[in-house]
Amino acid sequence: MNYSKSFVRFNWITLVLIYLVVVAGSFVRITGSGMGCPDWPKCFGQWIPPTNADQLPSDYKEKYTEGRENKVIKFSKLLNALGMESTAKKLQNDPDLLKEEDFNATRTWTEYINRLFGFLAGNAMLLAFFWMLLFYRKRKLLLLAGFNLVLMAFQAWFGSIVVATNLVPWTITVHMLLALVIIGLQIYLIRSVSPAMKSSLKLPKWTLYLLWICFGITIYQMFLGTQVREAIDELTRMDYGRESWTEMLGMPFYIHRSFSWLVLVLLTVMAWKNERGEKLLVIRILYAVLALELLSGVLLAYANMPGLVQTSHLIFATILFGIMAMCVIRGKSATQVT
């Protein structure tokens, strides 16, 4: 089936919007703006958030604390139903969940912009789904696009849980992993509708194997990276300085660091062989993005760099994930392609 250039281009735009949600979410994290809007989907009960505390009622803290308490209770019931009784009990007995922050216009609007990108990405996915339903009706892609749309809606709902639980660490990790699944599915959709992407990417068998290994490690790396970041946040709250982070972070940090160098070695071998043979542009791009991602990681671990480096580290990691996802989806062994 032939898809229009407009439809293909629109799906690429949707992917960019999804990436912007990830970037905005990271910026929210480094600026501590996650609680900038205490309610969801509105912000302080308004579609356009306030710019000054004078625009809020005097009892706004009590009001939103009560709303959060109700959400925590409902979420705890869900966790109990899923057999996660200890986690549910911990949430219900955590007094920090009921502490409302003072109004901060900068943080409020930072979180609001993050939600705006989420709104744009979600509606773009919805429009793409109806576009496909009305004009193409290919069952497999409709089911995939519909499933990804449901995931995006779930991600938005789960975002409200992240807010309600005051950014409980494990919820942030789940939020991030869901974003990767959504990105991966959108890339698969683009591959299926774009004429330029439908053809297989002919790779030597050893390159394809290395790509799959690196792809798997990268996914695990992003999971570990989120865990390490959460641990650092906790150490910061406990007033531990940067000089003591490494010894306090434990095994996840060392695995994360070691696997980073493993991916570098594997991609170095891949890049070296590529330059001696096929000279594929995608391998060169992968290597360049990995180099930038590792550099930002080193700056995070060993230098007192500004918070924007954290966002850069996540951006390069998600771009690396996206390129690898496209490669493994399109990749075929050159010996299998006639």
Same-domain pairing of 111 and 256: no
Same-domain pairing of 315 and 167: no
- CATH value at residue 296: 1.20.120
Q: State residue 256's pLDDT score.
A: 75
Same-domain pairing of 84 and 222: no
What does 283-311 look like in DSSP terms, one character per residue?
HHHHHHHHHHHHHHHHHHHHS---THHHH
Percent of the chain with pLDDT over 90: 16
Same-domain pairing of 214 and 159: no
The pLDDT of residue 172 is above 90: no
**CA dist 144 to 125, 147, 219, Å?**
11, 5, 21
The pLDDT of residue 31 is above 70: yes
Domain stops at, among 194, 217, 249: 194
Residues ≥6 apart with Cβ < 8 Å to 74:
none
Average pLDDT over residues 280-292: 86
Same-domain pairing of 41 and 189: yes
Same-domain pairing of 77 and 159: yes
Residue 333: domain span:
199-338
Mean pLDDT score of the chain, rounded to an integer?
Answer: 81
Domain stops at, among 194, 212, 233: 194
The pLDDT of residue 163 is above 50: yes
Beta carbons of 114 and 32 less than 8 angstroms apart: no
Q: State residue 338's pLDDT score.
A: 39
Q: State residue 337's pLDDT score.
A: 44
Same-domain pairing of 182 and 252: no
> Which of 101-110, 149-158, 298-307 is modeled with the greatest confidence?
149-158
Same-domain pairing of 25 and 86: yes
Q: State residue 334's pLDDT score.
A: 60
Q: What angle do CA 333, 203, 197 make, to 5 degrees?
A: 95
> Which of 32-46, 61-75, 212-226 is modeled with the greatest confidence?
212-226
Q: Using 50, 70 and 90 to split pLDDT, how confident is the model at 144?
A: very high
Same-domain pairing of 150 and 247: no
Domain stops at, among 128, 163, 194: 194
Token pair 């409302």 in the structure block, residue = 100
Same-domain pairing of 190 and 259: no
Calpha distance 20→120 (Å, rounded): 10
Helix (H) or strand (E) holding 331: strand 331-333
Q: Which of 98, 12, 104 is nearest to 52 (CA)?
A: 104
Length of the chain: 338
Tens digit of pLDDT for each residue in 289-311? 888 888 877 776 666 555 567 77
Same-domain pairing of 176 and 34: yes
Q: Using 50, 70 and 90 to split pLDDT, how confident is the model at 158?
A: confident
Tens digit of pLDDT for each residue in 175-197? 888 999 999 999 999 998 988 88
Tens digit of pLDDT for each residue in 41-83? 788 888 888 888 888 877 777 777 777 777 777 778 877 887 7
Count of structural domains within the chain:
2
Calpha distance 82→76 (Å, rounded): 10
The pLDDT of residue 161 is above 80: no
What does 164-233 look like in DSSP terms, one character per residue?
HTTS-HHHHHHHHHHHHHHHHHHHHHHHHH-HHHHS-EEE-HHHHHHHHHHHHHHHHHHHHHHHHHHHHH
Q: State residue 316's pLDDT score.
A: 85
Same-domain pairing of 140 and 281: no
Question: Residue 107 in 3-state DSSP?
Answer: helix
Percent of the chain with pLDDT over 70: 85
Tokens describing residue 227:
């865990």
